[in-house]
Structure 1
Amino acid sequence: MKWNNTFVAGVGAYVPSSVTTSSAVDQGLYSEESREADGFEGASIERELVPPQMAVEAAGKAVTDAGIDSNDIDIVFHSGIWFQGVDMWPAASYVAAHAARPGARAFDLQQQCNVGLSGLELAAALLPSVNGHILLTTADRFDGGPVDRWRTESGVVYGDGAGAVVLSSTGGKFELVSTHTEAANDLEKVVRGPQFATCPSTTTIDIGARFDYFISTGGMRAAAGRLVDAVTTSVGRALADAESEIGDMTRVIVPAVGKTKLDWQLQALIPVDINRTNWRFARQMGHLGAGDQFVGLERMCAEGGLEPGDRILLVGGGAGFTCTSAVLEFRG
């Protein structure tokens, strides 16, 4: 999809300080083998705020960065992949009331780790009918309970944090040039496991065990091929709609997974040098659930070095399976 008059006007992030992976190894929380193989140096860990509170912090920075009045925000999309602080409660309404205005339309979105970028695509489609701006936030805190940030998923260390962007039709620092989403919804079974449950898990979630179960069913080869097709098609069509090639991208923001996964992804799916990606700061924070792309964009802005006309490719993927790719052009 090629977009017109659609801009990312402001970006914001809230990322707490990190605990080093070496200290996690010393405490017996993380294995030295995984630390060496995956290359994570730390994980951001929040001690006080719940995810919607972190989202409000990130949103405030994005609104300030956009130079707009929060009362001009018409829609709020909030996303996360884990517990948001209260059971059966609309976290998006909290974000809207504290970061926008009580009358803003607020919606919680879900699509696992791809929900930030897929939400951006959805917001872009709604923008022409909106009398104002759209605020998108993501936030997660993987602290205690059934999620073990160090062991729940092989090749991943989960970090806490929030990201936010303001989408506008009146201008901004980035123009949204194109997006494309590919879906293979029957691949939800890859991480479903052998059976359903009638209530949330009270034991440690082990995504690796679910994955191993799927492998035992004999469908892994076909599933892997379809995942590759989904990602390469998403990236390829977003680039084609932007009339660009991967070599035209100044920066590429990808999911913050460890190098046991990332090295393969950059070889088979998104052929770019790792130094052009967000890995240099993602390895300090860990995987932020739905927030890798928004926080990665904020970090690249803070890092500096972008010139007007530079293009950035953002790629998101989430269990389900969906993949969304977006091309942004920096306007200064």
Structure 2
Amino acid sequence: MRFHEDVFVAGVGTYRPDVVSTAFAVGASWYDPADREASGMESVMVARDLPGPDMAVRAAEVAVRRSGHDRDDFGALLHTATHHQGPDGWSAPHYVLRNTLDRPITAVQVGPGCLGSLAALESAAYRLLGNPEHDAVLLTCGDNFGTPLVDRWRASKLFLLADGGAAAVVSRRAGFARVLAFGAVSNPSMEELHRGGEKRFPPGITIGRSLNFEERSAYWREQWAQGVAPPMGHFGDVVAETVEHTLGEAGLALDKVARICHSGYTRGALESIYLDPLGIDDTRGTWELTRTLGHAGAADPFIGLEHVWTRGEVVPGDHVLLLCAGPGMETDCVVLEIVAPYEPAKEG
């Protein structure tokens, strides 16, 4: 969908904890040396015992300050989480709200998984266009994967799970990036790939089953060997269709896009799912950043956007794609036009 009325990203902020090098992980026998070599990954963000919602709060403080908005301008907070946030039955979005805007407004959690931040951006834009009562919506996300039931180094060969937080302010008034279009394409026939034969009830986490995508991939390899075809489709085709559709809505060609802020995948997955289907090389994306950080769930596109904007790698007139692939299987894409440069003098 193309947005014919003005909607902006007014502020973006991140919380990036210290990194652990993949060389150290190999030395500690956490990470297989061959997997490290194939991945191209240099390091991964690890937050130790800092909860995901607290990383979201720290990122939000930066995004709100940069936005120029007062707390009373906000009509909603949309929070995204890829991993468990705290006590079962507790509301992480309202914890983030209490420790940021502290206003009596709605706070909800958006998913699924890594797509949540862009789905939240779309929802925020619709809210602002449909309800003129408030001028801004705060988007937050934060995850800590350092829990007993997750092995960040071995859960998937497609990515290394990273801790971190990110936030953005969506505004109807002004901002540094204008939102031109949003698009999403899914192939629900492939949803089974992320189930891998697991029972839907009771949920695995409630009986101590770990998050392990490699086990689910092994299940489908076994099924294939027994003559049972797995769900067919190539995720890269979904990515290419999403980008083509969204750029068409924005009236742009891919060669007019300065940078693509994508998920923090390993080298092979990045090429297979993003780069090759789009016919681009890694310099158009954020590989040199993501290979040092890992895959921080829904925070990835905002981490990339902050990086290229604050470093002056995109300037007014440039176009940026925010691009996420997630479970479902679905890809979401946002087209932005940079309309204001980063001004570090205003950071104080």
Q: TM-score range by the shorter chain?
A: over 0.9
CA distance in 1, matches of 2:78, 2:188: 22
Deviations 1:20-67 (A, max 9, x none): 000000000001111111111101111232011110100010001111
Contact 2:179 2:335 in 1 (8 A): yes
CA deviation after TM superposition for structure 1 residue 132, in Å: 2.4
> Offset of 1:172 from its aligned partner?
0.3
Confirm or deny that 1:156 pairs with 2:159: yes
Once residues 229 and 154 of structure 1 are traced to their aligned partners in structure 2, the CA distance between those partners, rounded to angstroms, is 20
Amino acid of the residue matched to residue 167 of structure 1? V
Matching residue of 2:289: 281
Partner of 1:61: 62
Contact 1:20–1:43 at 8 Å: present in 2 too?
yes
Distance, in Å, in 1 between the alignment partners of 2:72 and 2:261 is 30
Q: TM-score, normalised by structure 2?
A: 0.91
Following superposition, the deviation at residue 249 of structure 1 comes to 0.7
Q: Give the one of 213, 226, 248 matched to 1:207.
A: 213
**Partner in structure 2 of residue 222 of structure 1:** 232
Could you say which residue in structure 2 is the equivalent of 1:17? 18
**Secondary structure of the equivalent of 1:222?**
coil
Distance apart, 1:256 and its partner CA: 0.7
- Does residue 272 (structure 1) correspond to residue 273 (structure 2)? The answer is no
Q: Aligned letter for 1:164? A: A
CA contact (8 A) 2:189 2:231 kept: no
Partners in 1 of 2:212 and 2:186 — Cα distance?
A: 24
- In structure 1, the partner of 2:265 is 257
Matched residues in 2 for 1:204 and 1:83: separation?
Answer: 12
Structure 1 residues 148 and 309, CA, compared in 2 at 3 Å: closer, same or farther? same
CA gap 1:267/1:46 in 2 versus in 1, 3 angstroms: closer
Which amino acid is 2:2 matched to? Answer: K
Matched-pair contact (CA < 8 Å) for 2:78–2:120:
yes
- 2:2 matched residue in structure 1: 2
Secondary structure of residue in 2 paired with 1:204: coil
2 CA distance for matches of 1:286 and 1:323? 19
User: Post-superposition shift, 1:220?
Assistant: 4.1
Matches within 5 A, 1:1-332: 1-3=1-3, 4-128=5-129, 129-130=131-132, 131-196=134-199, 197-199=201-203, 200=205, 201-215=207-221, 216=223, 218-220=228-230, 222-224=232-234, 227-332=235-340
Separation of aligned partners in 2, 1:80 and 1:94? 13
Report the more deviating stretch, 189-198 or 289-298.
189-198
Residue aligned with 1:315, SS:
strand
Structure 1 residue 284: Cα displacement: 0.8
Question: Separation in 2 of the partners of 1:176 and 1:219?
Answer: 41
| Matching residue of 2:343 | none
Give the Cα separation in 1 of the matches to 2:296 and 2:198.
Answer: 27
Helix, strand or coil for the counterpart of 1:107? strand
CA distance in 1, matches of 2:9, 2:154: 35
Q: Which moved more, 1:191-200 or 1:107-116?
A: 191-200
CA contact (8 A) 2:239 2:274 kept: no
CA contact (8 A) 2:83 2:145 kept: yes
Partners of 2:54 and 2:337 in 1: CA distance: 30
- Bigger drift between 5-14 and 187-196 goes to 187-196
Report Cα offsets for 1:280-330 as digits up to 9, x if no partner.
Answer: 111111000111101111111222232211000111110111111111010
| Contact 2:110–2:119 under 8 Å retained in 1 | no
* Map of 2:344 onto structure 1: none
**Residue 7 (structure 1) shift:** 0.3
Q: Distance in 1 between matches of 2:270 and 2:237?
A: 17
1:240-281 superposed Cα distances (whole Å, 9 cap, x missing partner)? 111111111111111110012112234432222201211111
Return the offset for 1:205. Answer: 2.5
Separation of aligned partners in 2, 1:267 and 1:90? 37
Instruction: Kindly provide the amino acid, as one letter, of the partner of residue 271 in structure 2.
Output: D
The unaligned stretches of length 5 or more in structure 2 are 341-348
Q: Is the 8 A contact 1:313 1:325 kept in 2?
A: yes
TM-score by length of structure 1 reads 0.95
Q: Deviations over 1:114-135 (max 9, x none)?
A: 1111221122111121512111
- Alignment-mate amino acid for residue 8 of structure 1: V
- 1:150-191 Cα shifts (integer Å, max 9, x gaps): 001113111100111100000100000111011223322111
Identical-residue share of aligned pairs (%): 30
Q: Is the deviation greater in 227-236 or in 143-152?
A: 227-236
3-state SS of paired residue (1:115):
helix
CA distance in 1, matches of 2:191, 2:172: 35
Tell me if structure 2 keeps the 8 A contact 1:191–1:214.
no
Q: Does the Cα contact within 8 Å between 1:234 and 1:324 map onto a contact in 2?
A: yes
Alpha-carbon deviation of 1:112? 1.4
Letter in 1 for 2:165: A
3-state SS of paired residue (2:260): strand
How many residues are treated as equivalent by the alignment?
Answer: 330
Give the match for residue 346 of structure 2: none
* Contact map agreement 2:17 2:163 (CA 8 A) in 1: yes
d(CA) in 1 for partners of 2:87 and 2:276?
40
Please give the per-residue CA displacement for 1:97-123, whole angstroms capped at 9, x wherever unaligned. Answer: 111123121001120111111221122
